């Protein structure tokens, strides 16, 4: 949303942000771009005063359109911009994740009923758009997919390509059953037993957790110990030097089967880094198997081991070509310019239709 705000502002649109929680780090580029931020810090988890404050802001500033990302902001904006005002403005909401099996919360189901009065719903993945159209047929004609955009000057290929021995694998993900880390542990064990290969894994992601996530982390650690893979596995916790890490590793492996558009896969391709990803979600839209990366069956460790083995056997030149195809895909489909273009077209189309309705 910060990237979109800055991009739209640079094109001459008046953009303003409403925030109800602290976010100084994300506020910095907005302030630098001269984009006003209206703060109203919520008093509690369920704060009706936030909706009233947003409604009053919309009334005072006479905006043409409102946009929100994520469940709670979507709910607040629909109410403030549509339900509680006589002079309604178009409200666009966006979902950034996917519906996992048996895990859609009551809050998400509740909020989605209010999508009936939203002007449009954007998803950042095709599979979530299709999922929503099946669950809520009344929403089908007000749904679209817009992929995230990335700064391709920041996420850019390395000056020289790595050729590590043994293979250096990078995984960037939180730890949960849906991130599917156990399949990577199992694949390492297969590579060791069947092929006498010992690739190393660096896993970047938060390790302070509880509940289901903690249980899954403990399962992964137990499996690593059981297969005696400790020397091949390194927990790096959270890192900020993601581009440098992508440049230093030979391949990104992403076994996840539960999220929206996977940012780390897109960022890796933008950096010219080959990827090995599960054959789920929108991965088949991002990766052509054998061209700019590999797809594997996320339920089958043998499938992942086979793709790693193929990658190990590739020459440095072949790996570089694979990375170049990934970069080309990013330039054509994942740039910030394309991202802003798509939202601008959507907004203008909505406002044009609204004008047609008002004049008829």
Please indicate, yes or no, whether residues 22 and 60 belong to a single structural domain of this protein: yes
Looking at residue 314, its pLDDT comes to: 96
- The verdict on residue 159 lying in a domain is no
Please indicate, yes or no, whether residues 83 and 210 belong to a single structural domain of this protein: no
Please indicate, yes or no, whether residues 247 and 115 belong to a single structural domain of this protein: no
Question: What are the DSSP calls for 285-332, one per residue?
Answer: HH--BTTTEEEE-TT-HHHHHHHHHHHHHS-HHHHHHHHHHHHHHHHH
User: What would the two tokens of residue 40 be?
Assistant: 């109203």
CATH number at residue 245: 3.40.50.2000
Please indicate, yes or no, whether residues 308 and 350 belong to a single structural domain of this protein: no
Looking at residue 45, its pLDDT comes to: 74
- 100/104 Cα distance (integer angstroms): 7
Looking at residue 29, its pLDDT comes to: 87
- The verdict on residue 161 lying in a domain is no
Looking at residue 360, its pLDDT comes to: 43
- The verdict on residue 120 lying in a domain is yes
Please indicate, yes or no, whether residues 182 and 294 belong to a single structural domain of this protein: yes
| Count of structural domains, the chain | 2
The segments of the chain whose pLDDT lies below 70 read 23-25, 84-87, 356-360
Residue range(s) defining the domain that contains residue 91: 2-149+336-359
- The verdict on residue 155 lying in a domain is no
pTM check: above 0.95: no
Looking at residue 100, its pLDDT comes to: 82
Average pLDDT, the chain: 93
- The verdict on residue 163 lying in a domain is no
- The verdict on residue 179 lying in a domain is yes
120 contacts: CB under 8 Å, gap ≥ 6: 90, 92, 93, 142, 143, 144, 346, 350
- 258/187 Cα distance (integer angstroms): 20
Please indicate, yes or no, whether residues 87 and 187 belong to a single structural domain of this protein: no
Please indicate, yes or no, whether residues 120 and 7 belong to a single structural domain of this protein: yes
- The verdict on residue 196 lying in a domain is yes
């Amino acid at each position: 949303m910060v990237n979109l705000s800055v991009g739209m502002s640079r094109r001459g649109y008046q953009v303003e942000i409403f925030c109800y929680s602290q976010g100084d780090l994300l506020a910095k580029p907005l302030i630098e771009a001269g984009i006003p931020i209206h703060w109203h810090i919520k008093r509690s988890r369920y704060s009706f005063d936030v909706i009233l404050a947003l409604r009053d802001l919309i009334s005072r500033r006479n905006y043409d359109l409102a946009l929100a990302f994520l469940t709670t902001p979507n709910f607040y904006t629909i109410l403030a911009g549509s339900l509680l005002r006589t002079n309604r403005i178009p409200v666009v909401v966006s979902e950034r994740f996917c519906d996992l099996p048996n895990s859609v919360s009551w809050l998400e189901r509740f909020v989605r009923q209010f999508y009936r009065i939203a002007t449009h719903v954007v998803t950042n993945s095709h599979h979530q758009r299709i999922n929503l159209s099946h669950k809520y047929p009344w929403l089908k004609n007000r749904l679209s997919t817009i992929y995230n955009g990335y700064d391709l000057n920041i996420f850019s290929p390395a000056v020289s390509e790595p050729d590590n021995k043994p293979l250096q694998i990078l995984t960037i993900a939180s730890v949960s059953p849906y991130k599917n880390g156990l399949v990577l542990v199992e694949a390492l064990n297969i590579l060791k037993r069947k092929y006498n290969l010992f690739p190393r894994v660096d896993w970047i992601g938060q390790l302070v957790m509880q509940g289901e996530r903690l249980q899954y982390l403990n399962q992964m650690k137990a499996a690593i110990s059981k297969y005696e893979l400790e020397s091949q596995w390194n927990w790096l916790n959270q890192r900020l030097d993601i581009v440098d890490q992508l440049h230093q590793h030979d391949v990104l492996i992403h076994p996840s089967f539960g999220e929206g558009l996977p940012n780390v896969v897109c960022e890796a391709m933008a950096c010219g880094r080959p990827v090995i990803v599960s054959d789920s979600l929108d991965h088949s839209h991002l990766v052509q198997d054998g061209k700019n990366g590999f797809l594997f069956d996320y339920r089958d460790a043998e499938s992942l081991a086979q793709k790693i083995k193929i990658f190990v056997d590739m020459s440095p030149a072949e790996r570089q070509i694979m990375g170049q195809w990934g970069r080309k895909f990013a330039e054509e489909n994942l740039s910030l310019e394309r991202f802003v273009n798509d939202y601008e077209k959507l907004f203008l189309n909505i406002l044009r239709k609204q004008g047609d309705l008002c004049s008829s």
